[in-house]
Amino acid sequence: MSCDPPVTKWACEYCTYENWPSSLKCTMCRGSKPLLGEDIYRLCDESPSPTLISPVSEPSLASGPTDQDTVIHSNGKWECCACTYLNWPKSLYCAQCRSPRPVTTTNLHEHLQPLRIDPSNELASAAFGGGSLRIMTSPSIEKKDIKEAENDLRGRMSDKSISSKNVGCSKWMCSVCTYENWPKSMKCIMCGTVHGGSNNGAASGKGTASTRSSLPSPEREVSVVSSARSSREGSQVTLIEDKCSVKSKRNQAVNESATSTNSPNNCEYERRLKQIRQRMRDVDWAWLNACLGVVEGDVNPVEAYLSSGGDPARQLTPSEVTLLNRPSAFDTGHTLVHLAIRFHREDMLAMLLSQIEGSGSGVKRVPSYVAPDLAADIRRHVASAVRQRKGSFPCYFIAEITSFALPADVEDLPPMVQEQLFEELLDRDAQQQLESEPAALNWSLEVTVRLGSRLYALWNRSAGDCLLDSAMQATWGVFDRDNTLRRALADSLHQGGHVFYPRWKEYEASQASMLQFSLDEGQWEEDWAGLLSLASQPGSSLEQLHVFALAHILRRPIIVYGVKYVKSFRGEALGYARFEGVYLPLLWEPSFCVRSPLALGYTRGHFSALVPMEPYSRLENGAMANNLGAGELQVTFLPLMDREHKLLPVHFLTQPELGHEESILRQWMDVCVTEGGILVAQQQLHKRPLLVAQMLEEWLNHYRRLAQVANAPFTRPAPVQDYSSDGGDSDDE
């Protein structure tokens, strides 16, 4: 009876555990088996595992060789390095703990070499068209494994082809970085390689353009035939792909817009233009011609569009901007008013604003629109006259003082031309509201007729700068387009806030006490900050404090004639209007200011300049009129009472000043009482500045020419037409 020789186990040098001779690592502590007395050449595995494809993980060259060795027993099974379970040779994962089968350093290169794609084959057709796919393998790979790898690769590419077809576009793969670009991209978004070639391909000159653009890199081959990475790596790759996808979509939109207009093959672009032209109507063509007319300075197409009933507030659509094909001039959403402002067409702007609902009826032709160059010179002159007072009250002021009035030459025009002048110059709606019951303007016949001091409401822009525009109109006859007064107003309130704030707070607190409420200091400061913000924003509406500060900038009192209540478009009273009254430059010394006041009108959130007409006495003696010196003044009278003979409120008075309003008015203005007992202030009309006189003369010449045409005799017999009074005018006329 024979017995088997005893099995000699080896003891682990770390935990002294006795392991089987075939164990290369300790079962307990995973320590390596000592090499004493062992043949190191016999330990080398001569037949590595033929399985190459892993569905979840893949070997990586960047990670380097692994330090874990695969234990292969005589029956071909491999031992799991985590739980020592014996798995079948073709198992890529442990059946117990799902740990991946480790890759040894000796067969790592065989995992990366077996699968090769033949460069002569077109991978793009195999990936997206389902063509044949050739796989180059090493002789050590079994045919079954080769077939499984080929089926797996073809299945993956088939799925990718289906998904690409579902999206509706086939991307092209960069031959350098393998990034998948959109079809219209001429260059790779990631590396800039031109579509259809690569650096290597250009150098070698081998292969067609389609073949070179479809060949993947070795890393691409490994990623296609190998398994997916771990969950953590997979999430990182997904995040990167999402970012690249967003970037590719953004670049695709840019490329599509560029190729639609700049590419040689613009058939789609021309087809779209043809469809747009076919949908255009006559009114649409008139609208586009009007837009071109504003840009080019031609008023005829603009007048033709408006006379045909076109909407002046119509906006450009994207298709119309495409049809005009001038991106530097036209933008989506622009109206004729936007174009007139952008290209400084002030004469057209007046005509367009007059056509918009709520801006008055008829065409407006103010002096600054007739002579835009002179108006620009006047605004520059006013900007150069702005100064800042040194000392404890750093407020800005205008050094030169003037008052605007309508020239008396208007009365020499024929009645029809004179009526047209007033229609194009005045704001009829504001005039009617101020003169309607209860009248706030021109309510005294003694002042308007006997003293010749009727006030006219000039037409003003409907923007949020109406207060500053009306103040500039009442002084220089132009609008504050350059925001000269607004900048001076904002800077004065910011730098001189420590002087304005106490008086404003005291006045507002007294007004609040009358309404039975009060505010704490935080609310006062918040309201003050809001007022400063409004002053700094062009186009924003202004409050009483801004009128008070404007009186200091102009260095003269401001009298506001306004409606008692703010009403809606339906005539409903919305609230009490607090603007009416007198605003004095109380923070200046009286000797530093001018005693001649300005008159403004306030109606439903809108300010208008109220100006008189020059007394006709200036025209009685032409020589005397032309030789008027600086001290020879014309005077008009502005009422300081309402129609009930109540004194107009004086705003921003302190508690000790209340009750002494009349004496304060006499201190700051030249005040007198008429025979009817009306307290009035004298407004002095100085000699016009040269630029203002030239602007008014050019403006009057327009109506003088109209008067000459109306009074000119016929040079030849007029054609026989029916001009009956009851028949109306004919179409030919």
* One-letter amino acid for residue 9 of the chain: K
**% the chain with pLDDT above 70:** 65
Q: What is the pLDDT of residues 282-311, one digit of tens each?
A: 778 888 888 988 888 888 888 888 777 777
- Residue 319 is predicted with a pLDDT of 81
Task: Give the DSSP letter string of 252-305.
Answer: HHHHHHHHHHHSS--HHHHHHHHHHHHH--HHHHHHHHHHHHHHHT-HHHHHHH
Which residues, including other chains, have CB under 8 Å from residue 499's CB and lie 6 or more apart? 392, 393, 395, 587
Under DSSP, the state recorded for 577 is -
Strands 598-603 and 558-562: parallel
Contact 630, 470 (CB under 8 A): no
Residue 240 has pLDDT above 70, yes or no: no
Higher-confidence residue of 2 and 390: namely 390
Distance CA 573, CA 604 (A): 10
Tally DSSP H helices, then E strands, for the chain: 27, 21
Q: In this structure, what token pair is assigned to residue 436?
A: 């309607």
Check residues 623 and 373 and name the one with the higher pLDDT. Answer: 373
Residue 585 confidence (pLDDT)? 96
Q: pLDDT tens digits for 329-358?
A: 888 888 888 888 888 777 677 677 766 644
CB crowding 22-48: b at 16 or more within 10 Å, else e: ebebbeeeeeebeeeeeeeeeeeeeeb
C-alpha dist (Å) from residue 71 to 68, 95, 489: 9, 16, 89
Check if the beta carbon of residue 164 is closer than 8 Å to that of residue 158: no
Confidence of residue 184 (pLDDT cuts 50, 70, 90): confident
User: How confident is the model over 44-92, as pLDDT tens digits?
Assistant: 444 444 444 334 344 443 334 444 455 666 677 888 888 888 888 888 8
Is 156 strand, coil or helix?
helix
> Closest Cα to residue 582, out of 488, 646, 490?
646
Q: In this predicted structure, what is the pLDDT of residue 552? A: 96
Q: 3-state SS of 529-555?
A: HHHHHHHHCCCCCCCHHHHHHHHHHHC
Residues 628-642: tens digit of each pLDDT: 444 446 899 999 999
In the β-sheet with 456-457, what is the strand arrangement from edge to edge?
456-457, 606-611, 598-603, 558-562, 581-583
Tell me which residue of 143, 150, 157 sits closest to 216, measured CA to CA: 157
Mean pLDDT of 670-678: 93
Give the residue ranges of DSSP H helices in 53-168: 108-112, 123-128, 143-167
Stronger pLDDT, 263 or 388, i.e. the higher one:
388
pLDDT above 80: residue 268: no
Q: Are 163 and 194 in contact (CB under 8 A)?
A: no
- Position with higher pLDDT, 203 vs 572: 572
Q: Looking at residue 134, what is its pLDDT? A: 43
pLDDT at residue 45, as a whole number:
45
pLDDT tens digits, residue range 526-554?
A: 999 999 999 998 888 889 999 999 999 99
Handedness of CA 595, 601, 607, 610 (dihedral sign): negative
Cα(690)–Cα(316) distance, integer angstroms: 42
C-alpha torsion sign, points 589, 595, 596, 598: positive
Q: Which residues pair with 566 in a beta bridge?
A: 575
**Looking at the domain that runs over 272-357, which CATH code has it been given?**
1.25.40.560
User: What CATH code is assigned to 369-613+632-710?
Assistant: 3.90.70.80
Mean predicted confidence (pLDDT) in 433-460: 92
Q: Mind spelling out the 3-state secondary structure of 414-432?
A: CHHHHHHHHHHHECHHHHH
- Confidence (pLDDT) at 150: 59
Q: What is the pLDDT of residues 452-476, one digit of tens each?
A: 999 999 998 766 789 999 999 999 9
pLDDT (tens digit per residue) in 375-386: 999 999 999 999
**497 pLDDT above the threshold of 70:** yes
Predicted pLDDT of residue 113 = 44
Residue 149 has pLDDT above 70, yes or no: no
The per-residue pLDDT for 73 is 64
Confidence of residue 438 (pLDDT cuts 50, 70, 90): confident
CATH 3.90.70.80 maps onto the chain at: 369-613+632-710
**Residue 250 pLDDT greater than 80, yes or no:** no
Averaged pLDDT for residues 562-585? 78
The ranges of the chain annotated as CATH 1.25.40.560 are: 272-357
Q: Is the pLDDT of residue 111 over 50?
A: no
* Amino acid present at 535: A
User: Is the confidence at residue 226, as pLDDT, over 90?
Assistant: no
CA dist., res. 579 & res. 599, Å (int): 12
The answer to whether 364 and 519 have CB atoms below 8 angstroms apart is: no
Q: According to the model, what pLDDT value does residue 375 have?
A: 93
Q: For residue range 92-109, what is the model confidence (pLDDT) as tens digits? A: 888 888 888 876 544 444
Report the share of the chain in percent with pLDDT over 90. Answer: 32
- The helix/strand/coil state of 559 is strand
User: Residues 114-139: what's their mean pLDDT?
Assistant: 42
Tell me the mean pLDDT in the region 396-409: 93
SS (H, E, C) 222-265: HHHHCCCCCHHHHHHHHHHHHHHHHHHHHHHHHHHHHHHHHCCC
* pLDDT confidence of residue 354: 63
Statement: residue 390 has pLDDT above 50: yes
d(CA 187, CA 206): 20
CA-closest candidate to residue 587, choices 657, 681, 484? 657
User: So what's the pLDDT on residue 318?
Assistant: 85
The residues annotated with a catalytic role in the active site are 466, 606
d(CA 599, CA 601): 7
pLDDT tens profile 154-178: 555 555 444 444 444 578 888 888 8
**Tell me, what's the pLDDT at 11?**
84
> What confidence score (pLDDT) does residue 265 get?
52
Question: Phi first, then psi: what are they for 301, rounded to 5°?
Answer: -65, -30
CA atoms within 13 A on the CB side of 198: 22
Please report the sign of the dihedral spanned by the C-alpha atoms of residue 402, residue 404, residue 405, residue 410: positive
SS3 321: helix
Least confident span in 66-80, 268-282, 470-484, 618-632? 618-632
Residue 437 clears pLDDT 60, i.e. is over it: yes
147 — pLDDT class (breaks 50, 70, 90): low
- For residue 194, what are its two tokens? 């031109």
pLDDT, residue 243, reads 43
By CB atoms closer than 10 A (0-12, 13-18, 19+), residue 21 is exposed
Q: What is the 3-state secondary structure (H, E, C) of 45-62?
A: CCCCCCCCCCCCCCCCCC
| Section 684-710 average pLDDT | 90
CA distance 298 to 279: 26
CA angle 22, 27, 33 (to 5 degrees): 55
In SS3 terms, 237-248 reads as HHHHHHHHHHHH
